[in-house]
Amino acid sequence: MAIEKTPLAAPLAMNGSAHLAELDASRLVVTLAKTLQPLPENPHFGEIKTDHMLMATYEPKTGWSAPEIKPYGPISLDPASSCFQYCPNVFEGMKAYRGPNGEPRLFRPKLNMERLARSAERVALPPFDTNAVLTLIKRLVAIDARWIPTKPGHSLYIRPTIIGTRAALGVAASDSAMLYVIMTPTGPYFNTANAKGIPLLAVGTTVRSWPGGTGGHKLGLNYAPGFLPQRLAAEQGYSQILWLLGDDHKITEAGAMNFFAVVARDDGDLDVVTPPLDGTILPGLTRLSCLALLDAHTARRTVLPGLRPALRLHTHERALTMPELAAWSAEGKLLEAFCVGTAVAVAPVGRIGWEGKDLVMPSEETGLGEVGKALLERVLDIQTGRVEWEGWSVVCEV
């Protein structure tokens, strides 16, 4: 067992009075596992965890503890903890990839840290230094780098989590917290049956998020209400819910993914439409990256693989409704629809069940269309360091 230790710092003093300790990556204590697990050949998303985890705690009288990297294992919490009673639980989804020389890489991780901080603030959890968290995650990834799969389409999923641990009942913000990071090797998110297109069921009678709610943040409480509708959709042969909002059947998200539609224009160009970030939509990093790459192709700053250099892709972040999607399909203008997210990267939509009928996409038979395929290839190339683009791929120093 190897141990690296830095003496615990006392709370810092200012003008003679103590104040709360910040989350400090230089205070990291590392305890390595005595026995390492065998690596799985075909990992399934979220099932097998790596050898180590990262943890730090916050207490209202002292601030943040020294962070620890230690062997993966259970945690102990008071049964009255806020995370169980009132759900002040936030998390992020990130991935580590194997670079061209075997080096571990992260994809735009500062954006994950910024979103984690916004989510924590939304449920009144204690603040933290995002740079310190990222430094600690890089160290954790470097320690467990052997877990990053080498197979194409595989990666190491990283789940930073912050939970409220105030050990008292009473509806109030949690003044105690636990931050931890766990990791799991993963292959493709969807099974081979959905490789040519995810079947979605459009649902508006129940909603995932609503104006003024928490849909724009990555909170645990956003997900559980979707489990029952998801189960009912599966019983009807659909893999995910396409969440609709309002009397006009406005499209928000597909499951927990951002939704895109590609529409032919009369001038030969293509419109690429995705719902706007109006507070009901999670600001996905893959969503942001896809929009930037589409705009870069149109501006001739890059050429996306498989697309004509002269093809102009007009991106639109605007309200998108199911009647509008159905009309484009009837006119033969709807060329493809796809979902994007950390877990799936870019995945085709095959059909959408709506008002008793299926709206069938071209990808039901062909898989991703030319735009989705181009985005998937370029995003994966950037994530794995095969293509350098605006510093999006960040190496974790071992």
Question: Tell me: the pLDDT tens digits for 269-279?
Answer: 999 999 999 99
Check if the beta carbon of residue 142 is closer than 8 Å to that of residue 397: yes
Same domain, residue pair 179 and 35:
yes
Same domain, residue pair 121 and 220:
no
- Average model confidence (pLDDT) across the chain: 92
Domain, as residue range, for 238:
193-389
Check if the beta carbon of residue 395 is closer than 8 Å to that of residue 97: no
* 5 pLDDT higher than 50: no
Same domain, residue pair 271 and 306:
yes
Specify the 3-state DSSP secondary structure of 331. Answer: coil
Residue 194 pLDDT: 57
Residue 17 pLDDT: 41
Geometric angle at alpha carbon 382, from 95 and 69, rounded to 5°: 30
Residue 191 pLDDT: 64
Among 186, 221, 240, give the residue marking a domain's end. 186
Among 137, 166, 186, give the residue marking a domain's end. 186
The total number of structural domains in the chain stands at: 2
Please name which of 175, 306, 194, 177 lies closest in space to residue 257, comparing C-alpha atoms: 194
Among 152, 186, 220, give the residue marking a domain's end. 186
Q: Could you give the C-alpha distances from 330 to 57, 268, 326, 361, 369, in angstroms and in order?
A: 55, 18, 6, 11, 18
Element (H, E) at 70: strand 68-71
Q: What is the mean pLDDT of residues 375-391?
A: 96
Residue 398 pLDDT: 58
End-to-end alpha carbon distance in the chain: 19
Angle of helix 285-298 relative to helix 109-122, nearest 10 degrees, comes to 130
pTM of the model: 0.92
Q: Which amino acid makes up residue 345?
A: A
Same domain, residue pair 172 and 278:
no
Task: Give tens-digit pLDDT for 34-70.
Answer: 999 999 988 888 899 999 999 999 999 999 999 999 9
Better-predicted residue by pLDDT, 240 or 152:
240
Kindly indicate the confidence band of residue 293, based on its pLDDT and cuts at 50, 70 and 90.
very high
d(CA 73, CA 51): 9
Residue 364 pLDDT: 67
Q: Could you give the C-alpha distances from 202 to 294, 314, 351, in angstroms and in order?
A: 27, 26, 10
Q: Where is average pLDDT lowest: 68-77, 191-200, 243-252, 329-338? A: 191-200
* 187 pLDDT higher than 50: yes
Q: What is the mean pLDDT of residues 382-389?
A: 96
